[in-house]
Amino acid sequence: MTGPAHMTPEEAALAAEYALGLLQGAERAQFEAAMRQNPALLGEVHDWQEYFASLTAEVAQRPPARVKRRLLRRMFGARMGALRFWQGLSAVGLAATLGLASVFVFDLPIGPEPAPVPAPVPASQPISLIASEMTAAGEDLRFLAIHDGQALHLRHTAGAAPPGRDLELWLIAGDAPPLSIAVLSDPSDIPNVTLPDPLPEGDLVLAVTDEPLGGAPEGVATGQVRALGTLVPIWQVWR
Amino acid sequence: MRTEIDDLIAQVALEDRGALSELYDRTSAKLFGICLRILKDRAAAEEALQDVYVKIWRHADRYTANGLSPMTWLIAIARNTAIDTLRSGHRHSKLTGLDQALALPAPGPTPEGAAIASGETRRILGCMDELEKMHRAAVRGAYLEGLSYAQLAEAAGVPLNTMRTWLRRSLMRLKACLQR
């Protein structure tokens, strides 16, 4: 324990009670004030927190999937629902390293219920989709993707493929397995590619994985997800 | 494990949504378990769990300075949120005094903290076992169930002051054991 010389036995007892959550009201406020003045008290509280945390060793209960959906919706708005995509990916063994892409959708209401999603535009009409930044947790790679209704324009903005690997672009629609779109042998020179027409139903997510040179064997992703982003209609981003 | 959770919290501090999502996947079972033990109501625990991650998102930048191991910090936020929900009867996702205290910089890394993080759980539980059964139950009840002195006293059928004397004595005995 930290610096017993700097606290009275009474204060040491209060620190333990505080860490247990047993102090309430004025007593709690008083102790918090004392703790701000006295680093030894704070250190004592921290030590107790570390000790008591061990008591949770056997405590665990997986929350239902809806809790995460609600949380992300509450925090980031209605279209932050790449969850189905995540779950789909785990089926092909990719989920472990996944992070959700930073796709920013402005002006959508953040609330307990999903914002009304406008009716889909028929695929035969020109439609612009954007993934403003494709990225993944812990990864350096960044891409910007714009689909203008005809072709997908993919621009590499940061990062590189691991040595001896090629990057490969995938389209994931809803719960369907990832569809190989292109092997990106040279990220600095990516040709425009076409997506299926009409576009598949459901949330459209672009993902970039690293694969053996030449691309994934048998068209099934085998590498880690290095970047991903949800394609959203451009008018949802800038309206 | 420790480093990875650390890294994820650091990325969350940079508003990396993917990192928050991964942190949730990695830690929500434990934090939900903690909320559920304290609140004993699934719906309330689900709400509290959301509040916990909102707090983590908002205050991850304060974590790096506080010197707690990452899981301890997350556990403390979950406990504080659940206990405050329990006692106030309504939710709030503001930082409580407890959270703020945890966000203050520590006086320096404590060797004890590092030892715990590297896995001395068994020693700690061993020290708990040295307490009298009723006293041990009181410490666990306070920490894991979020019980107040009044509730602990009622459960044990003793006056509140007696419970407080017991518990304080138990805590000091625990501290002596942990320092051996």
pLDDT tens digits in sequence order for chain B, 180 residues long: 444 898 899 999 988 888 999 999 999 999 999 999 999 899 999 999 999 999 999 889 888 667 788 999 999 999 999 988 887 764 444 434 444 334 333 333 333 444 444 456 777 778 888 898 889 899 999 999 999 999 999 988 999 999 999 999 999 999 999 887
User: Residue B102: its chain A contacts at CB < 8 A?
Assistant: 46, 49
**Out of B106, B120, B142, whose CB is closest to A43?**
B106
**Residue of chain A whose alpha carbon sits nearest to that of B52:** A71
Dihedral sign from CA coordinates of B23, B29, B30, B35: positive
pLDDT of residue B158: 92
Dihedral sign from CA coordinates of B131, B83, B45, A87: negative
pLDDT of residue A155: 82
pLDDT of residue A201: 76
Q: Residue A135 has what DSSP assignment?
A: B
pLDDT of residue A235: 54
Across chain A, what does the average pLDDT equal? 73
Residue A137 or residue B38, greater confidence:
B38
User: Residue A89: its chain B contacts at CB < 8 A?
Assistant: none
Q: For residue A178, what pLDDT band results from cuts at 50, 70 and 90?
A: confident
Q: Which of B55, B108, B111, B59 is nearest to B79 (CA)?
A: B55
User: Residue A98: its chain B contacts at CB < 8 A?
Assistant: 18, 22
pLDDT of residue A132: 63
| Contacts A–B by Cβ distance under 8 A | 191
First to last CA, chain A: 57
Question: What is the average pLDDT across A11-26?
Answer: 92
Which of A54, A87, A97, A133 best probes binding to B when mutated, by most B CB atoms within 10 angstroms?
Answer: A54
Interface check for B7 against chain A (CB to CB < 8 A): the answer is yes
Q: For residue A62, what pLDDT band results from cuts at 50, 70 and 90?
A: very high
pLDDT tops 90 at residue A189: no
pLDDT tops 60 at residue A83: no
Q: Residue B14 has what DSSP assignment?
A: T
Six token digits for residue B169: 């004595």
* Interface contact flag, A13 B168, Cβ < 8 Å: yes
